[in-house]
Amino acid sequence: MKWQGRRGSGNIEDRRGQGGGVMRVGGAGGLGLLAVVLVGYFFGVDLTPLLTGMEGGQTVQTQGELTERDRQMGDFVSVTLADTEEVWTKIFRQDLNRAYTPATLVLFSQATQSPCGTASGATGPFYCPVDKKVYLDTDFFATLSRQLGAHGDFAAAYVVAHEIGHHVQDELGILSKVNEIRARSSTAESNELSVRIELQADCFSGVWARHAAEQFGSIEPGDIAEAINAASKIGDDTLQRNAGRRPMPDSFTHGTSEQRQRWFTAGFRNGDLSDCDTFSARNL
């Protein structure tokens, strides 16, 4: 992805390196703690309450100076966010005849607070509709590459675009309506709706990628393959299998690897929002 030297977004809130961030880590032992964090990290579940509730724990400060890589990844996220802003502003204006209000993206290290709960390594990147902000620890990109095998800068761009896809859903009123239904649904029904939300965000990230290629010429050979590979690495079935579990479809909340790849590709194919109606699709 061609991003160096390009315009960054002004909607970045950088909390990295700030003091005062504290997590209490329980005394369950190193391996037990690691298991708790990794499960939450890969499955998008905030397990911080489990960590803070353990007895005999220790307090870990989250402050620290930014490394050169930290600064570089911050610049990368800023440029990617700026690209999403330009693309979605144009799509909203031309296709929907309405204004797009960009999200703010919060960069943090290890832990920070949000209205949707504590953002930490146990949560992974997420969008909070309460304050309309995306929360992202850029260390997640290293985990994505080294532990999950999703290499390349466009794999990281896909993560940012996916979370912004949730903001687009919020702007369109989709997220609030679906979450209202989920709140009064059974666990199985809620999980199924969650999958449709996540797959639509994947599709929206594909829409963004198509328009970014056309508007900025920033997409390089192999970039789309990097995004599709990333989508395959974070499918519910793949993550459960890699965690030593038998895939349980009723517990899926993000979709299978094949579904995530297919919906990203559906969005990228034509760059058309109408191709992303996961809620009307009989077969995901």
Record the tokens describing residue 144, joined without a space.
């994505």
Rounded Cα distance, 220 and 210, in Å: 12
pLDDT of residue 77: 93
**H or E segment at 23?**
strand 22-25
Helix 187-216, helix 223-233: angle, nearest 10: 170
Closest listed residue to residue 264, CA positions, set 151, 159, 152, 145: 159
Strands of 179-240, DSSP E? none
Q: What is the chain's pLDDT, residue by residue, as a tens digit (284 residues)?
A: 888 788 899 999 999 876 544 333 333 333 333 333 343 444 444 333 333 333 333 333 345 678 888 888 889 999 999 999 999 999 999 999 999 999 999 999 888 999 998 888 777 899 999 999 999 988 888 888 887 878 888 889 999 999 999 999 999 999 999 999 999 999 999 999 999 999 999 999 999 999 999 999 888 889 999 999 889 898 888 888 888 889 888 888 999 999 999 999 999 999 999 999 999 998 88
pTM as predicted: 0.83
Rg (CA), the chain: 18
Rounded Cα distance, 14 and 247, in Å: 37
Strands of 57-161, DSSP E? 58-61, 104-108, 111-114, 117-120, 126-128, 133-137
CA distances from 84 to 63, 81, 231 (A): 29, 5, 19
pLDDT of residue 34: 36
Domains of the chain, residue spans: 12-276
Strands 111-114 and 12-14: unpaired
Angular region, 56: left φ>0, alpha ψ -120 to 50, beta rest: left
Residue 102 contacts residue 125 (beta carbons within 8 Å): no
pLDDT of residue 64: 61
Residue 102 contacts residue 75 (beta carbons within 8 Å): no
pLDDT of residue 144: 80
